[in-house]
Amino acid sequence: MKKITILVLTIIVCVVFIQNLNAGVNSELKTESSVISKETNRNEKETNQCEITKKHPFSRQDREDTFKLTFNCENLEDSMSFQIIGFSGDIIYEKKISGISFYDYGRPWYVYVTDPKRGKDFNAQKLSNQVTDSLHKADIQYIKKRMNEFFNDNRFIVNPTVKLDKKQLNVYHYDGISDDSTAIGFKIQLYVEGFEMIAYSKKMQKVQFIASAD
């Protein structure tokens, strides 16, 4: 009888020991997982964000909204965020774009590889590392130039539905804009050619896509 009692006690002690051991391991795993999660979040927050802003009337002629382009300072070819923040502080328009969408026929790399002086046997895939690096640096400077031009005053057009070519208008989306002589259009110009235009409809209380050209 004593042997059975001792055996039962031994089993109980072992079970308690194993449970405590598992609890300790689980606690360590949770702590480690928490540390990894915090480290990941910290690294994400460390991405250097830069922005270009411009204040200009848009939703109302007598008030200025803020046009903002937010981008990765260390990689201008990365994704960017274009926002229009109303004078009251609300985001009234947001569009995700890519840095490479600022490239057009003026891109230094394109100008170089399409130069007729290169000859018909020229192979852009066989450029030296030095030339490739040099052209990429020039490309980045070109993106900077086009970004700085993104909010130029000539991109804003008062009463746009009257001044644009009728073939370019999107008649399904300018309710409250076509009959508003104070409406202001903003031209989003990306890629090789063409544009998209947006304007704020006071009637609809939102930004509308009103025109485009290829």
Residue 210: the pLDDT is: 93
Q: Is 7 contained in some domain? A: yes
Q: Domain residues for 29?
A: 1-46
Q: Is residue 54 domain-resident?
A: no
Average pLDDT, the chain: 82
Question: In total, how many domains does the chain have?
Answer: 1
Domain membership flag for residue 188 = no
| 61 contacts 184 by C-beta, under 8 angstroms | yes
> Rounded mean pLDDT of 187-199?
90
213 located within any domain:
no
Provide φ and ψ at 27, rounded to 5°.
-65, -45
User: Is the Cβ–Cβ distance between 84 and 92 less than 8 Å?
Assistant: yes
109 located within any domain? no
The residue to which tokens 């009257």 are assigned:
162
Residue 173 lies in a domain: no
In a domain, 137, yes or no: no
pTM (two decimals): 0.74
